[in-house]
Amino acid sequence: MPKRIIVAHYGGPETLQVVEEECAEPKRGEVGVRVLAAGVSLPDILAREGIHPETPRVPFTPGWDLIGVVDRLGAGVSSIEIGQIVGAMPISGAYTEFICLPQRELVPVPEGLDPVEAVSLILNYITAYQMLHRTAKVKAGQRVLIHGAAGGVGTALLQLGRLAGLDMYGTCSARTATVVSDLGGIPIDYQNQDFVKEILRLTSDGVDAVFDGIGGDNLWRSREALRPGGIIVAYGFTSKLTGGRLAPGQPGGRHRFRESAILGWYIARNWFLPGKKRMIPYSIQWRKRLNPAPFREDLIALLDLLRQQKITPLISQRFPLVEARQAHELLGRGGVIGKIVLVPKLNVANDEQLTTFRPR
């Protein structure tokens, strides 16, 4: 029987459990997909802790993005074939060997691509592409600051920013500085340098845009690095995590809307500060819900860039599906370069953590 991962209760990596159950039959308009690769991301950790706006009720299967092969067709499905490779962003549910999804959610993937590289495009590269071109609307020659530049979204921003002709600066650790410079950015060691002072030293008047996935008070520091008229694109709140767990003093449980409300307060306060510096939130899921066409267009464009080898996603590590807990532990420790990916068919020594699960 197919395996999948569930979050049994909100908390640390130990809450991830491997379960097995019969394959569900796709309903009308749905497609049954055998998962080839599922991305592991910080939003998965935030949902596991119960604080991401997209956090489902427990028990739930995490996983924002996947690449798979069409295995079954529900009634009314057309223009798609058994054996076709597809990508999707279900937001939750991707940590599994088999999933049923509405046909409208699936995007065809060109033949010959590595599913592990292709899955990196769905969350990380679409986020980066849309923040650059649909939110900040960057132009060649502009200067940008990328926080967490060696991570999954950070390396995507660097690769796409280089294609766009940007001058790029990236905060990172000393250990990952070479990665940032190799991708065309000027590394800033956030552990030993004040990134605001360093940006002002290097540019004299600041950058045109900052991409900030840290959130919290780091947004005010990012604002200091902006030139007048610049823009901060806020797309995360990893400041709430310490070592992959909720920071001390943060209440546990399911708090889906608290961080969105806090971000709204930061944005409202920014309106009254001098300098004509904008602060705009970015949410890939809300953009997709309100207008799914650009999401599809951007993924198809990125898949073509991958096919042409104009972008090359950095893969930190491939884990078997049943080692999702180890994947979360690695991501939570920090310093991961690029993307961590779960590969259901990757060989493992044993399945000792397997349990049987029957949905409520």
- In this structure, is the dihedral angle defined by the CA atoms of residues 302, 308, 314 and 320, taken in order, positive or negative? positive
Domain residues for the domain of 260 are 122-287
Cα 337 from Cα 315, distance rounded (Å):
7
Same domain, 136 and 107: no
pLDDT score at 357: 33
* CA-only gyration radius of the chain, Å: 20
CATH number of the domain bearing residue 312: 3.90.180.10
pLDDT at 248: 67
Q: How many alpha carbons lie under 13 Å from residue 99 in its C-beta half-sphere?
A: 33
The CATH number for 224's domain is 3.40.50.720
Summary mean pLDDT of the chain: 92
pLDDT(342) > 50: yes
**For residue range 183-214, what is the model confidence (pLDDT) as tens digits?**
999 999 999 999 999 999 999 999 999 999 99
Query: Per-residue pLDDT averaged across 210-238, rounded?
Result: 94
Q: How many CA atoms lie within 13 A of 313 on its CB side?
A: 30
Q: Is the dihedral of CA 102, 103, 107, 112 positive or negative?
A: positive
Please indicate, yes or no, whether residues 52 and 165 belong to a single structural domain of this protein: no
Q: Final residue of a domain: which of 239, 257, 287? A: 287
DSSP-based three-state secondary structure for 241: strand
* pLDDT at position 256: 60
Q: How many CB atoms lie within 10 A of CB 325?
A: 18
Query: 56, 10 in Cβ contact below 8 A?
Result: no
Same domain, 126 and 115: no
CA–CA–CA angle 15, 19, 20 (5° rounding): 170
* Overall size of the chain counted in residues: 360
243, 310: one domain: no
CB 3 within 8 A of CB 20: yes
DSSP letter assigned to residue 64: S
Q: Which amino acid is at 82?
A: I
- For residues 184 and 78, state if they share a domain: no
Do 51 and 240 contact (CB within 8 A), yes or no? yes
Quick one: 141 and 276 in the same domain? yes
Same domain assignment for residues 129 and 253? yes
Smallest CA-to-CA distance from 102 within 120, 80, 129 is with 80
Statement: residue 349 has pLDDT above 70: no
- Smallest Cα–Cα separation from 247: which of 51, 64, 55? 51
Q: Is the pLDDT of residue 359 over 50?
A: no
- The phi-psi region of residue 356 (left if phi > 0; otherwise alpha if psi is between -120 and 50; otherwise beta) is beta
Considering 257, 287, 317, which residue would you say is the last residue of a domain?
Answer: 287
Q: Does 237 share its domain with 333? A: no
Which pTM was predicted?
A: 0.91
pLDDT of residue 33: 98
Residue listed under structure tokens 């009634």: 75
The neighbouring-strand residues paired with 20 are 3, 356
User: What is the number of structural domains in the chain?
Assistant: 2
Is residue 269 domain-shared with residue 321, that is, in the same domain? no
CA 328 – CA 43 distance, rounded (Å): 11
**Same domain flag for 160 and 179:** yes
Q: State the virtual CA torsion across 330, 182, 37, 256 in degrees, nearest 10.
A: 60
d(CA 264, CA 312): 35
pLDDT digits (tens, 9 = 90+) for 138-178: 999 999 999 999 999 999 999 999 999 999 999 999 999 99
